[in-house]
Amino acid sequence: MRKIIYWVHTSVDGFIDGPNGEFDWPHMGPELSAYSESLDERVDTLLFGRPVWEMMVGFWPDAESISDDPHTKAFAPFWRATPKIVFSRTYAGDEWTERVIRDDLAAEVGALKAAPGADLLLTGGAGLAAALTEHGLIDEYHIAVHPVVLGGGRPLFGRPEARLDLRAEGSRLLDGQVVVTTYRAA
């Protein structure tokens, strides 16, 4: 059975973006980039909710012409070459999307997990992650806590209706400033 890995950046106060949607605060140093790339090596499909997808598709197709950042140069070819699935009831898809899943989240994702292949990587976002968590479909949570207090924005886990018990698997300090903790569903 394939796993769904949730890889997300958050502030110390638990927000995945700022009060105005800003996402200019994560710093991808060499150690954090290497950690991210190690997750990429485990997967063959990328999963996105529509808000994150719109941000990603606006940058990654031509990322190297926009940024000289080493992480950008390493991730962009992987992003372009890897099949991508977007979850949205209204999005028609585009040249970069392998598939759009609109309905019956639990059944569709259950079928994805049961299909042959490597693991699946859900990157960022809150809405899709909350929905998948509610259905018990996320296997690993990799949460990078950056040393910033945003004071508002979208909370990491939205507003869950039920308590979520997680089991910490390990924690690392990367680039001397970002703490990445790995959790599994308890």
CATH code of residue 40: 3.40.430.10
The structural domain count of the chain equals: 1
Element (H, E) at 133: helix 127-134
Predicted pLDDT at 28: 92
Single out the residue of 34, 33, 46 nearest to residue 5, CA to CA: 46
Domain extent, residue 59, equals 4-185
- pLDDT tens per residue, range 92-140: 999 999 999 999 999 999 999 999 999 999 998 889 999 999 999 999 9
Cβ–Cβ under 8 Å, residues 7 and 122 = yes
Q: Name the DSSP class of 15.
A: B
Query: What CA–CA distance (Å, rounded) separates 185 from 125?
Result: 18
Quick one: tokens of 180? 């990445």
Q: How far apart are CA 184 and CA 178, in angstroms?
A: 20
**Position 163 confidence tier, pLDDT thresholds 50, 70, 90:** confident
Assess whether pLDDT exceeds 90 at residue 44.
yes
* Tokens read off for 42: 């485990």
Please give the model's pTM, rounded to 2 decimal places: 0.94
Q: Which residues pair with 168 in a beta bridge?
A: 183
